[in-house]
């Protein structure tokens, strides 16, 4: 029974069978059915991490000591079934992603003592199609190996999108051959096209879609460092002075790199054809490099951009992305722009209880034929402090944000008037003003990203006996042993009894 306490996100249905557990034997193999070979190879690695045993992979003659991975070829997208008992373990995926998630559940079941799988029957499928995390690689840059580590961590919690915030005032992190000066003059460090392809491929093998973001018209000071003719003059308000002073930086100066953490002072020139030629180059190249369906266009905190200019920018950038064959995603402020391309997805980063019209902006995407991704900042902004003693992180979102608060919210209650079908999914962003290393990422993301994953994957609380804080708290505690073995440097939150 004990190992059942390490299941996060909780599967849709778990039946504990009154039988003896499955126990790894000296002869245990992974038996990969047709179409299951790639998952079996990943399963062998993961099971080795959890148990210390590298199981051989075979393709036939399954016996009662073996673990079978097979494709059903039917069933809801990303769903799987898992049965374990003295006659072996069988994981059946409706599709390759479902089989991959079944294998992640198996690893959590094995995490108890590293040798036994309780006798269970599990039937599981996700609540939301889009389950994401975001990493800001602009405020601080992270090497490819850190990003692939983030992909492994996300996939282990059944998240299926990684949004990369590639550009901001502080730097441009993706090398583009159409606009080489962006990374020659405004990056420091960046991903080459080959790095990006490596990230995309690594993610795809783990059923994670990369969502690249190139934001505008605000958050674009770095563009003006490379191409001064595209940028308006920095708008220095008292808020910009205060935020810049906070980390001892110098005020933004046109054409010079900016190292502070202020927001809302930069804007592209929205009335100039040169800006739209630039966007056509950038999004055209990004679309060609990105197999996934989404390109994120930003649109947040354009405090220095007049409303008409903002609307013109959003209208044209979402049209460009749509013409490239991709679906645009924009932060919720873009919902205010008349002429937003039909079907644009809105990412809501307001509060669990909306204020100042932010919910209206989110509803505008739905009225326009799109859907919403929910990232309520006072629940799942992973860059908020846990408590006032947390060395890293910020507090602006009514922070600090405890693990309990990150768990206790219900997606359909956030934006009044928007129903379950209007929610594409959930995403937990990690902004990196205060985050420099892979260990910093782990300390802020874990355990709260597990709360976001359960809300994104598992049935609503009303539909599931274990979708509650007391159960989640116990199950996350049970995951501590697996996280340690996987090298995840999680925050030992005093809210959790860690195993
Ligand atoms: C708000 S959320 C921002 C970011 C900051 C973040 C810090 C959003 C769309 N904009 O520029 O990094 O707060 O928490």
Instruction: Give 196-235 as a 3 state SS string.
Output: HHHHHHHHHHCCCEEEEEEEECCCCHHHHHHCHHHECCCC
CATH number at residue 338: 3.20.20.80
Q: Does residue 156 share a domain with residue 24?
A: no
Q: What is the pLDDT of residue 4?
A: 77
Q: What is the pLDDT of residue 66?
A: 98
Q: What is the pLDDT of residue 246?
A: 84
Q: Which of 214, 304, 431, 433 for mutating ligand 1's site (highest number of atoms within 8 Å of CB)?
A: 431
Q: Considering only CA atoms, which of 402, 399, 408, 407 is closest in space to residue 377?
A: 399
Closest atom of ligand 1 relative to the 331 alpha carbon: 9
Q: Does residue 139 share a domain with residue 118?
A: no
Phi and psi angles of residue 297, each rounded to the nearest 5 degrees, phi first: -105, 5
Residues with CB under 6 A from ligand 1: 263, 300-301, 331, 349, 381, 383, 394, 431, 433
Q: Does residue 216 share a domain with residue 104?
A: no
Q: Does residue 389 share a domain with residue 245?
A: yes
Residue 431 CA to ligand 1 centre (angstroms): 7
Q: Which pLDDT tens digit goes with each residue over 447-491?
A: 999 999 999 999 999 999 999 999 999 999 999 999 999 999 999
Q: Does residue 86 share a domain with residue 187?
A: no
Q: What is the pLDDT of residue 40?
A: 98
* 142 belongs to a structural domain: yes
Nearest CA to ligand 1 atom 5: 431
Distance between CA 183 and CA 498 in Å, rounded?
44
Q: Which of 301, 378, 385 for mutating ligand 1's site (highest number of atoms within 8 Å of CB)?
A: 301
Q: Does residue 162 share a domain with residue 84?
A: no
Q: How many domains does the chain have?
A: 2
Q: What is the pLDDT of residue 2?
A: 44
Strands 88-93, 130-136: pairing kind: unpaired
Burial environment of residue 469 by CB neighbours within 10 A (0 to 12, 13 to 18, 19 or more)? middle
Q: Considering only CA atoms, which of 262, 314, 260, 321 is closest in space to residue 288?
A: 321
Residue 301: active-site member: yes
Q: Which pLDDT tens digit goes with each residue over 284-305?
A: 999 999 999 999 999 999 998 9
Q: Does residue 375 share a domain with residue 281?
A: yes
Stretches in the chain below the pLDDT threshold 70: 1-3
Q: What is the pLDDT of residue 1?
A: 41
Q: Does residue 342 share a domain with residue 197?
A: yes
Write out the DSSP string of 237-279. -HHHHHHHHHTTPPPP-TTS---S---S---B-TT-HHHHHHH
What is the DSSP code (8-state) at residue 303?
T
* 35 belongs to a structural domain: yes
Q: Does residue 134 share a domain with residue 53?
A: no
Q: What is the pLDDT of residue 109?
A: 97
Q: Which of 263, 329, 330 for mutating ligand 1's site (highest number of atoms within 8 Å of CB)?
A: 263
Annotated active-site residue in 301, 312, 333, 433: 301
Q: Does residue 290 share a domain with residue 142?
A: yes
Closest atom of ligand 1 relative to the 396 alpha carbon: 14
CATH number at residue 63: 3.30.379.10
* 499 belongs to a structural domain: no
Q: What is the pLDDT of residue 5?
A: 82
**Of the residues 124, 153, 186, which one is the last residue of a structural domain?**
124
Q: Does residue 89 share a domain with residue 218?
A: no
* 491 belongs to a structural domain: no
Domain span including residue 90? 2-124
State ipTM.
0.95
**Of the residues 124, 142, 163, which one is the last residue of a structural domain?**
124
* 448 belongs to a structural domain: yes
Closest atom of ligand 1 relative to the 429 alpha carbon: 2
Q: What is the pLDDT of residue 73?
A: 82
Q: Does residue 210 share a domain with residue 92?
A: no
Structure tokens at 199: 């990230």
* 472 belongs to a structural domain: no
Nearest CA to ligand 1 atom 4: 431
* 495 belongs to a structural domain: no
pTM of the model: 0.98
**Of the residues 109, 124, 139, which one is the last residue of a structural domain?**
124
Evaluate the CA torsion angle 456, 374, 432, 202 in order and state its sign.
positive
* 53 belongs to a structural domain: yes
């Amino acid at each position: 029974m004990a190992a059942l306490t390490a299941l996060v996100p909780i599967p849709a249905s778990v039946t504990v069978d009154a039988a003896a557990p499955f126990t790894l034997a000296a002869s245990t193999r992974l038996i990969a059915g047709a179409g299951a070979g790639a998952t079996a190879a990943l399963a062998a690695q993961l099971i080795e991490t959890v148990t210390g045993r590298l199981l051989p992979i075979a393709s036939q003659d399954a016996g009662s000591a073996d673990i079978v991975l097979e494709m059903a070829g039917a069933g809801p997208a990303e769903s799987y079934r898992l049965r374990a008992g003295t006659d072996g373990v069988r994981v059946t995926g409706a599709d390759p992603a479902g089989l991959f998630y079944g294998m992640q559940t198996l690893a959590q079941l094995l995490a108890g003592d590293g040798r036994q799988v309780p006798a269970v029957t599990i039937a599981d499928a996700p609540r939301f199609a889009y389950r994401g995390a975001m990493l800001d690689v602009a405020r601080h840059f992270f090497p490819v190996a850190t990003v692939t580590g983030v992909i492994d961590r996300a996939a282990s919690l059944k998240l299926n999108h990684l949004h990369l915030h590639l550009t901001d005032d502080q730097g441009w992190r993706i090398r583009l051959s159409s606009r080489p000066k962006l990374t020659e003059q405004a990056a420091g460090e960046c991903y080459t096209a080959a790095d990006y392809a490596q990230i995309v491929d690594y993610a795809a093998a783990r059923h994670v879609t990369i969502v690249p973001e190139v934001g505008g018209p605000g958050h674009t000071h770095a563009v003006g460092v490379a191409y001064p003719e595209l940028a308006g003059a920095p708008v220095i308000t008292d808020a910009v002075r205060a935020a810049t002073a906070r980390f001892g930086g110098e005020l933004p100066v046109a054409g010079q790199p900016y190292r502070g953490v202020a927001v809302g002072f930069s804007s592209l020139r929205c009335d100039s054809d040169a800006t739209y030629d630039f966007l056509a180059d950038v999004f055209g190249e990004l679309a060609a490099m990105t197999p996934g369906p989404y390109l994120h266009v930003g649109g947040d905190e354009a405090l220095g951009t007049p409303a008409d200019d903002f609307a013109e920018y959003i209208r044209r950038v979402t049209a460009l992305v749509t013409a490239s064959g991709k679906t645009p995603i924009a932060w919720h402020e873009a919902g205010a722009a008349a002429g937003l391309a039909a079907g644009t997805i809105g990412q809501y980063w307001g509060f669990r209880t909306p204020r100042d019209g932010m919910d209206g902006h989110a509803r505008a995407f739905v009225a326009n034929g799109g859907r919403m991704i929910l990232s309520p900042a006072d629940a799942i902004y992973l860059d908020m402090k846990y408590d006032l003693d947390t060395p890293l992180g910020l507090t602006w979102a009514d922070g600090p944000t405890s693990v309990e608060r990150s768990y206790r919210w219900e997606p359909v209650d956030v934006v009044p008037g928007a129903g379950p079908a209007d929610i594409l999914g959930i995403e937990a962003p990690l902004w990196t003003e205060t985050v420099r290393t892979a260990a910093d990422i782990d300390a802020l993301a874990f355990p709260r990203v597990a709360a976001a994953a359960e809300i994104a994957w598992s049935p609503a609380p009303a539909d599931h006996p274990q979708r509650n804080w007391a159960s989640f708290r116990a199950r996350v505690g049970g995951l501590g042993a697996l996280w340690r073995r996987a090298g995840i440097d999680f925050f030992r939150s005093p809210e959790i009894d860690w195993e």
